């Protein structure tokens, strides 16, 4: 009888295109993070894992394994068929669970009865997670070109347009699903897990062939997520470029970016304005809330840009002589053409 083989995460990632990855963890474990392209076929779902975990704590490992066997074996034929439907003929299959334990062991054993090219990932997802962390700490070696500028100057829009021109862009705020400000979460829903953010950033980097990456200047934290140390260190020491725009265009851009959220998320916006009481004072914040509720967003946005965001930004702003070049998004087409010419 054929026996599955063991494979390390390093070997699997070097030859990733040769394999189909099957993640046999539960649906919530998979949603938190997984190897890019992996197919989720849980051996035990979330509810079943909870039942097994309770038995393990109250009655011990032996009874927990017996209960798991009762759950898994009756549906093993249908379970194995789902692998055959997802895998191609003569595919090399890699099975992984959380740490390379029982779930991947059982699945790989059953599959190897029929198939020759079955591998079990040593260390499971945990080895992949360590591989990602190690990459940022030791192996990340691309140069980073960073676009700085006041809020609303069009950095995110610029990144999107440059990416459409096939420039080596990574949108950190897009990966984090947060605009990186006190209002940054509004209308966007939940942020991904830290693990998924790290993995998505890693996969974005390795998909870029250029020796450099273009990003928007960010603080270490975007919403509740942290940029990995190795990436952040290179970013704050990378080549710096300043993006400028006048206050009218900045205000219009912010209002456009938030679009329908201004009405749909009105209460949430008011709560966010109230967060600024310690910085702006209660009287000013109350006036801003009243203006937003009765007159609309334009005056409020303009005030906050000048009297909150610009002040914060300028406290941390790089000296002008540290910027390699300044670009103006008041003429976005000219700005893009200049950057593409300069960044060759």
**Residue matched to tokens 């595919």:** 91
pLDDT tens digits for range 114-131: 888 999 999 999 999 999
Q: What is the DSSP string of 278-299?
A: HHH-HHHHHHHHHHHHHH-SHH
Q: What is the pTM of this model?
A: 0.88
CATH code where residue 241 lies: 3.40.50
3 state DSSP class of 128:
helix
Which pLDDT band holds residue 297 (cuts at 50, 70, 90)?
A: confident
Whether residues 68 and 149 share a domain: the answer is: no
Domain boundary among 88, 111, 132: 132
Q: Is the pLDDT of residue 153 over 90?
A: yes
Whether residues 205 and 312 share a domain: the answer is: yes
Q: Are strands 143-148 and 118-121 parallel, antiparallel or unpaired?
A: unpaired
Domain boundary among 72, 103, 132: 132
Task: Give one word for 178, left, alpha or beta, with left for phi > 0 and alpha for psi -120 to 50.
Answer: beta
Which pLDDT band holds residue 183 (cuts at 50, 70, 90)?
A: low
* Domain range for 290: 141-342
Whether residue 280 contacts residue 308, with contact meaning beta carbons closer than 8 Å, is answered with yes
Whether residues 314 and 286 share a domain: the answer is: yes
Catalytic residue (choose from 97, 106, 161, 301) = 97
Domain total in the chain: 2
Whether residues 326 and 197 share a domain: the answer is: yes
Asked if 153 is an active-site residue, the reply is no
- DSSP code at position 207: T
Q: Is the pLDDT of residue 1 over 80?
A: no
CATH code where residue 66 lies: 3.40.250.10
Angle at 69 between CA 66 and CA 73, to 5 degrees: 155
């Amino acid at each position: 009888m054929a026996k599955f083989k063991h494979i390390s995460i390093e070997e699997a990632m070097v030859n990733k295109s040769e394999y189909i990855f099957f993640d046999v963890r539960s649906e919530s474990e998979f949603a938190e993070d997984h190897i890019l392209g992996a197919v989720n076929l849980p051996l035990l779902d979330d509810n079943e894992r909870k039942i097994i975990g309770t038995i393990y704590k109250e009655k011990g490992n032996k009874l927990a394994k017996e209960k798991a066997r009762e759950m898994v074996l009756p549906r093993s034929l249908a379970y194995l068929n789902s692998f055959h439907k997802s895998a191609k003929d003569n595919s090399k299959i890699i099975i992984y669970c959380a740490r390379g334990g029982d779930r991947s062991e059982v699945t790989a054993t059953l599959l190897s009865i029929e198939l020759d090219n079955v591998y079990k990932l040593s260390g499971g997802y945990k080895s992949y997670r360590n591989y990602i962390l190690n990459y940022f700490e030791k192996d990340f070696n691309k140069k980073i070109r960073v676009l700085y500028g006041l809020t609303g100057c069009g950095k995110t829009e610029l990144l999107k347009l440059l990416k459409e021109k096939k420039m080596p862009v990574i949108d950190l705020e897009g990966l984090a699903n947060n605009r990186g400000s006190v209002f940054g979460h509004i209308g966007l829903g939940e942020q991904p897990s830290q693990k998924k953010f790290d993995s998505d950033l890693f996969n974005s980097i390795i998909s870029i062939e250029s020796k450099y990456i273009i990003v928007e200047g960010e603080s270490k934290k975007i919403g509740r997520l942290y940029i990995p140390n190795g990436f952040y260190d290179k970013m704050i020491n990378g080549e710096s470029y300043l993006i400028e725009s006048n206050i009218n265009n900045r205000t219009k851009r912010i209002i456009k970016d938030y679009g329908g959220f201004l009405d749909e998320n009105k209460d949430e916006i008011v709560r966010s304005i109230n967060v600024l009481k310690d910085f702006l004072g209660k009287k000013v914040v109350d006036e801003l809330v009243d203006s937003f509720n009765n007159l609309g967003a334009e005056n409020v946005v303009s005030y906050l840009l000048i009297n909150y965001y610009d002040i914060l930004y300028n406290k941390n702003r790089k000296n002008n002589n540290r910027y390699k070049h300044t670009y103006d998004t008041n003429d976005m087409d000219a700005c893009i053409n200049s950057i593409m010419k300069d960044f060759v």
